[in-house]
Structure 1
């Protein structure tokens, strides 16, 4: 399943859209995919803990996300005054963390928020815009 997602994410990171559009597209795409495969993030984390070399196998596959162009684009948009100063790596980690966590911690979130599966699915769907808006508002100059 990750082999299907990775090229899509890589294409978004390396297309010609603005950083804002990339964040919106990445978040919507990631959440849609994970909603169909909700156990994938937990599986990947389990595999990374069990076998740290697991990521090396994934990294060598065609289409594995490359953030170099994304990092350069962030630097350009900072220089133009569009974005506040932020390192591209940190922004990418923030995007990943805010998108992955609900899937990895769904039982915990359901318990804290006191919701059932149906309400959780709606919260996850709402995160497509909530996460993107949150990140964009935090980095806009």
Structure 2
């Protein structure tokens, strides 16, 4: 591995740590340079701004995460298994990268078309199989009538909302970071249980 690649990898790992502990808004380039053990000038040589650095990290995560989520929906798992696996893996991934949801929401508000293209390019997630599966389960009388997009939106919203609302939840309830993490571990099972019970006949 070249020295340049090693330095860049060290910067990216340092940035992830700083973003996790300080959030996107609270992170400073100097903090990232300190964490990486380099000077600020060298950091700016590799990444011109905090935003560029974050975009690089996001793209790396998205390139691993989005295909995995798509693969779950395209798999031969039962509908209930897909709900369980998606909930567990989505929450687990966001717990490792808690700064992602707010970044996504901000970018979608600022430049929706450009952001969607950056994330997916010409290959958007294929949800046709899971949509057909939901309709089939309804037609067979196995689940209550539900619009597939409402079901998918409910699933996504219940997984992501606690991370977006974390500061508010902690402010209202007094939850510590450790308690919040424990709650999210429980949520991996709570979300699918709630959704499955709501549609099961």
> TM-score of the superposition, structure 1-length normalised?
0.94
1:17 aligns to what SS in structure 2?
A: coil
Query: Post-superposition shift, 1:112?
Result: 2.1
Inter-CA distance 129–61: structure 2 relative to 1 (3 Å threshold): farther
The alpha-carbon deviation at position 74 of structure 1 amounts to 0.4
Q: Deviations over 1:97-126 (max 9, x none)?
A: 000101111111112222110000001111
Greater relative contact order structure (CA < 8 Å, 6+ sep): 1
Which position in structure 2 is the counterpart of 1:112? 172
Measured against aligned partners, the alpha-carbon deviations of 1:46-77 in whole angstroms (never above 9, x if no partner) come to: 11111111113323255x42211111000111
What is the 5 A alignment of 1:1-16? 1-16=61-76
Residues 41 and 61 from structure 1, CA distance in 2 versus in 1: closer, same or farther, beyond 3 angstroms? farther
Match of 2:117 in 1: 56
Identify unmatched segments of 5+ residues in structure 1. none
Distance 1:99 1:61 in 2: 26
Alignment of 1:28-107 (within 5 A): 28-53=88-113, 54-60=115-121, 62=123, 64-107=124-167
Contact 1:24 1:129 in 2 (8 A): yes
Q: State the alpha-carbon separation in 1 of the partners of residues 188 and 155 from structure 2.
A: 11
Q: Which has the higher helix share?
A: 2
Matched-pair contact (CA < 8 Å) for 1:13–1:65: no
Task: Give the Cα separation in 2 of the matches to 1:13 and 1:84.
Answer: 20
Please, what is the CA RMSD of the aligned residues?
1.2
Moved over 4 A (4+): none
Counting matched residue pairs gives 140
- Gap regions ≥5 residues in structure 2: 1-60
User: In terms of Rg, which structure is larger?
Assistant: 2
C-alpha displacement of 1:139: 0.6
